[in-house]
Structures are given as structure tokens and as C-alpha cells.
Amino acid sequence: MAVDPKVAAVIERWAPRFISNGVPLTDYQEATKAIANWDDWCAAWARRAEIHEAMGMAALDAGKGISAGEHLQTAGVVYHFAKFVFVGDMAQMKASHEKAVRCRDLALPHIDPPGIRVEIPYADASLFGILRKPPGAQSPPVVVMCMGMDSAKEEMASNEAHFLKRGMASLAFDGPGQGEGEYHFAITPEYEKPVAAVIDYLETRDDLDASRIGLWGVSFGGYYAPRAAAFEPRAKACIGISGPFDYGKLFKAQGGNEVFRVRAHCASMEEAYTVAKRIDLTGVAEKISCPLLAIGGELDTLTPPAEQQRMANEASGPSEALILEGGNHCANNLRHMYSPQSADWMAGHLGAG
């Protein structure tokens, strides 16, 4: 096992996430075994992704769509974890990121149910997302999925599945400072702006019911989704997982965050702190009037459960906090205890099924 403290910390914190979000156990084991220090991280994971990519491309060439979809979706998520927090070498990170996007895009027509890449006009450019619809559903409700500080739409297949199986469409998108949006746009604490653009886009489609939209967010997305719900009346329900209520306080207590600094497009940690202080639901949570489910892990040291409990306490609409005993950040070690249940909750509020 790796001895580099940074590698050890990332593995300890995120191992359940890697597996629950689609990394095969053997790939996780082999990639991490090959890492002697942090500088090796991206290349070690990319080598594992290349195996799945090659099998996927061979299957495509042979006309084996089902196998191609499976292999290429796996390649996409493994490439994603090659790059997810590897901000110290932007060229290497971006190269793996481009491969993650390409592999998932190639997989989309061949997975069940299939998906499409969508472009959403935003500010002076565009945001990009993945839209999937439940088979046979006519004008289904939609769950807009908000990413975290280091997550991206290529990582979302297992999360999408819970909603799709219950008759809801999913639109996972990369917002400012996230995934494909991290290069042109900085982290934007006022996340109602990109969510409004996403909902505007959904309203242009006649195959979805834009009057039944739910918001879902994980980690930083667990702040972004409730923040958007506070200002976006078109949101009918909201799930936030392990989001911060007051990130400025946490940022300072944790001595800053280099991934945040880079994705906030800040030159210094001091400048990043000025952005972090804007990530605060004080005086905002009370504007959340739609049903809110705030989920947290009892043992989460990044965004402790008191943050999610405070969201639920201060929201003005129907709200509850689900704090999972023994859960880590995003309770990825206990996904079986909340992913299906929260999808049922969302389906009930959106009238799905």
C-alpha cells in the first residue's frame, strides 16, 4: 500500500466512492498498488483506463454495442479518477479528462437506457451535460444532478440509475469550476445561475416535463443544489448530500484547499478564501420552500453532519436531515442505505412512476 501521505489520505477518504461509482475492484487495487508517490497517481489510473478503452473500441469495431458501452463507460469513470484532484499537473490532468469525456460520450448510445450529450447555453459560452430518459416514459420528470468540487458527469452512472429505474430522467451537468466547466468558468457560489440555465434548456424540450424538476447534489453539489432551490421556483424538490452550510469556516479550519483554489481560478489561498466565504447559506436556507432532504455521514470530517442538519433546520419548507451512523463523506461507504431510499423520496415528490 502507498506510503505517500497524500496518496494514503485520498485512498482512505475515497475508496468507497471509487467502487460505488463504477471502478472495478481490480482496477482500484492495481492502480493504487502501482503508486509510490502522488506524482504517479494520474498515470497509474490512466493505464488501467486504457485497458477498458481498448476493449471498448475493439467491441465498437466488431459491432458489439452492448460490450462497447460497458467497457467505454468503465474507461470513462477510471479516467475521471485519474484526473479528479490531480490539479498540480494541469496538462496531464486535462489529457486524462479529455479521454474520460470521450469514452463516456462513445458509450452513451450503447448503454441502457441510452444517453445523449447536451450543450446548455451559459454566460458567454456553454455548459455540457448528459441526458438520459427512462425507457418508454412519456414526458418524464427530470432530476438535475449537480456535481461536487472534484466530481463530474462521467462519474454519475450509478447515481443516475436509481432515478431512471423509478421513471425519472436524469441530467448530470458540469457547472462552473466542474468537469468540462472548470477551464472556462471559475467556481460560482451563486449556483442558482447555472441551474437556471439548465432549467431554461429543459423547457425547450418537448420530451420532458419541465414542470416536474428535482435538484440533486453531492459533496459541494450538496450546497449547490439547496442554494439553487432557494432562488429557483421551478425546482419542486431537492436532495443535498454532504454539502457545507458555511464553507468559509471549514476552509479556514482545514488550512485551505488547493483543488478549490485552482478551480476557483485564484492566484493565492487568501484570494480563494474570499470565494469560500461566499459559500454560505446563512440567510439563504430559509428561502428553500420546496421539500428538502439533506443527507450526511456521521464520521464526515470534510463537511460534518452539523452542516446538513443546519440546512434542514433552517429551510422554510418541508425538510429532513438523514445522518447515517458510521457514514463517511457523502456516506459512500453506506450508499445502500440512502441511494435507493432518496430516489424513492424524489420519485414521490415529482410524481414519477
Q: What are the boundaries of each domain within the chain?
A: 5-107, 115-245+281-350
* Per-state percent for the chain, helix, strand, coil, to nearest 5: 50, 15, 35
Give the pLDDT mean for 194-222: 98
Question: What gap in Å lies between CA 15 and CA 330, rounded to an integer?
Answer: 12
Give the pLDDT mean for 230-244: 98
Are 213 and 237 contacting, i.e. CB atoms less than 8 angstroms apart?
no
Give the pLDDT mean for 90-94: 98
Residues 115-245+281-350, CATH architecture:
3-Layer(aba) Sandwich (3.40)
Residues 5-107, CATH architecture:
Up-down Bundle (1.20)
Buried/exposed code over 271-298 (b: 16+ C-beta within 10 A; e: otherwise)? ebbebbeebbbeebbebbebbbbbbbbe
Q: Identify the band that residue 2 occupies on the pLDDT scale cut at 50, 70 and 90.
A: very low
Query: Do 5-107 and 115-245+281-350 come out as alike in CATH topology?
Result: no
Instruction: Give the CA distances from residue 261 to residues 85, 87, 151, 168, 194, in Å, rounded to whole numbers and listed in that order.
Output: 12, 10, 16, 35, 20
DSSP three-state, residue 299: coil
Cβ-Cβ contacts under 8 Å for 12 (sequence gap 6 or more): none
Give the pLDDT mean for 298-322: 98
DSSP three-state, residue 237: strand
User: Does 345 have pLDDT greater than 80?
Assistant: yes
Question: What gap in Å lies between CA 237 and CA 293, rounded to an integer?
Answer: 8
Are 158 and 186 contacting, i.e. CB atoms less than 8 angstroms apart?
no
- Mean pLDDT, the chain, rounded, equals 97
pLDDT for res 349:
98
Question: What gap in Å lies between CA 171 and CA 208, rounded to an integer?
Answer: 11
Model pTM? 0.97
pLDDT for res 353:
74
User: Does 330 have pLDDT greater than 50?
Assistant: yes
Question: What gap in Å lies between CA 23 and CA 231, rounded to an integer?
Answer: 36
User: Does 300 have pLDDT greater than 90?
Assistant: yes
What share of the chain has pLDDT > 70, as a percent? Answer: 99
Give the pLDDT mean for 37-61: 98
